[in-house]
Amino acid sequence: MRVLITRPHEDAAPLAARLAGLGVDSLTEPLLRIRFLPGPALDLAGVQALLVTSANGVRAFAARQDDRDVPAYAVGDASARAARDLGFARVYSAGGDVDSLADLVRRRLDPAAGALLHVAGSKVAGDLAGQLGDAGFEVRREVLYRAETSTALSPQAAAALAGGSLHGVLLFSPRTAATFADLLARAGLQDACARLAAYCLSAAVRERVASLPWRRLRMAARPDQDSLVALVAGAAEAGET
pLDDT band for position 241 (cuts 50, 70, 90): low
Task: Identify the structural domains of the chain with CATH numbers, from first to last.
Answer: 2-31+150-237 (3.40.50.10090), 40-148 (3.40.50.10090)
- Calculate the alpha carbon distances from 90 to 60, 70, 73, 125, 230 in Å: 18, 7, 9, 24, 27
Q: What is the mean pLDDT of the chain?
A: 94
Kindly list the strands in the beta sheet with 2-5, ordered across the sheet, starting from the edge strand earlier in the chain.
Answer: 25-28, 2-5, 168-171, 197-200, 216-219
* pLDDT higher than threshold 80 for residue 123: no
pLDDT digits over 89-122, tens only? 999 999 878 899 999 999 999 999 999 999 998 8
Q: How many residues does the chain have?
A: 241
**Cα–Cα nearest to 53, from 170, 231, 160, 172:** 172
Report d(CA 73, CA 69) in Å as an integer. 13
pLDDT digits over 144-192, tens only? 999 899 999 999 999 999 999 999 999 998 999 999 999 999 999 999 9
User: Residues 102, 85, 225, 229: what is their CA dihedral angle, to the nearest 10 degrees?
Assistant: -160
The pLDDT value given to residue 239: 84
64: left (phi over 0), alpha (psi -120 to 50) or beta: alpha
The pLDDT value given to residue 122: 82
**Cα–Cα nearest to 10, from 64, 79, 66:** 79
User: Residues 21, 27, 32, 34: what is their CA dihedral angle, to the nearest 10 degrees?
Assistant: 60
The pLDDT value given to residue 153: 97
**Cα–Cα nearest to 141, from 130, 152, 153, 157:** 130
The pLDDT value given to residue 212: 97
Integer-rounded Cα Rg, in Å, for the chain is 19
pLDDT band for position 222 (cuts 50, 70, 90): confident
The pLDDT value given to residue 9: 86
Question: In the predicted model, what is the mean pLDDT of residues 41-52?
Answer: 94
Q: Between helices 55-64 and 9-21, what is the axis angle to 10°?
A: 130
